[in-house]
Amino acid sequence: MAATPVSGAPTYTDLVDLVLASPLIADATIRSTTRIKGTEAATVAQGQQRLYIETDVTALIKGEAGLPPRIGYLLDVTPDSRGRFAKLKKARTLVFARRVPGSADQVQLSAPDAQLPWSSDLDARVREIARQAVAKDVPPAIVGVGNAFHVPGSLPGEGETQIFLLAQGGRPVSLSILRRPGEETRYSVALSEIVDEAAGPPAPNTLLWYRLACGLPRALPAASTARLEPADAAVAQEDYGFVLDALGPCGRSRG
């Protein structure tokens, strides 16, 4: 698979996407580039060039069974506004990839922008995300929304909504939204059968935030409130919207 680097600094979400999609992540320095022509470059977009990259691996950030000291892969590159191609030789990069079966020293980039210019800050961010992604308590991917319930309080405007989420592996995940007169509406996320209102919302730019901000549908499915009275269903929809607004946009800038 050839790829085209995307300009601009990656967001937190972009990096999580890359880390989760890449069995291999390497800190590497490009040793050589060779332009590919003819039939092997037939699918290259107009104006681009296809290169075969050889790179020396400095460190393996993620990946089982290690990597050879030198690996190769294909990369489609795009010229800048002046029509010039960047000189990649000796450039230090972070490579996000997967193995090519039967070729120990060949990899396939996992996304169009899966080669990023190395920096100490980017390296640290990627390593931290990779570490969290394999932790035992890593938040599961959200695959849907289950039933929602709303219990009105004794005072006007008071009540609690609980929304059960469908997560990968069947793990329990739920949202609790609490409204009390004279107080700000607040919500919490539970990753177990026990709902802890004191847990609060996820911090921005964390894996739990990523799972929710990027995994929740933009509206509460009608099936989730089908068993509720119309007034309670309306409040549950409003509370779900409150959670989405509080989470903010997913922040994905990659294609």
Cα 163 off chain centre by: 23
Q: What is the mean pLDDT of the segment spanning 168-187?
A: 94
Q: What is the pLDDT of residue 196?
A: 66
Strand order of the β-sheet with 159-167 is 142-152, 159-167, 173-179, 186-190
pLDDT at residue 83 tops 80: yes
Cα(116)–Cα(94) distance, integer angstroms: 5
Q: What is the pLDDT of residue 2?
A: 43
Give the confidence band of 35 by pLDDT, cuts at 50, 70, 90. Answer: very high
Q: What is the pLDDT of residue 80?
A: 86
Q: What is the pLDDT of residue 112?
A: 74
Q: What is the pLDDT of residue 224?
A: 97
pLDDT at residue 195 tops 70: no
What is the SS3 string spanning 179-226? ECCCCCCEEEEECCCCCCHHHCCCCCCCHHHHHHHHHCCCCCCHHHHC
CATH architecture of 12-133: Beta Barrel (2.40)
Separation of first and last alpha carbons in the chain = 16
Give the confidence band of 1 by pLDDT, cuts at 50, 70, 90. Answer: very low
Give the confidence band of 198 by pLDDT, cuts at 50, 70, 90. Answer: low
Residue 204, both tokens: 């921005």
pLDDT at residue 194 tops 90: no
Give the confidence band of 184 by pLDDT, cuts at 50, 70, 90. Answer: very high
pLDDT in tens, 107-153: 999 987 799 999 999 999 999 999 999 999 999 999 999 999 999 98
Looking up tokens 């609980």 gives: 162
Residue span(s) of the chain under CATH 2.40.50.120 come to 12-133
Q: What is the pLDDT of residue 186?
A: 94
Which of 42, 44, 62, 59 lies closest to 110, judged by CA?
A: 62
**With the C-alpha atoms ordered 32, 100, 114, 139, is the resulting torsion angle positive or negative?**
negative
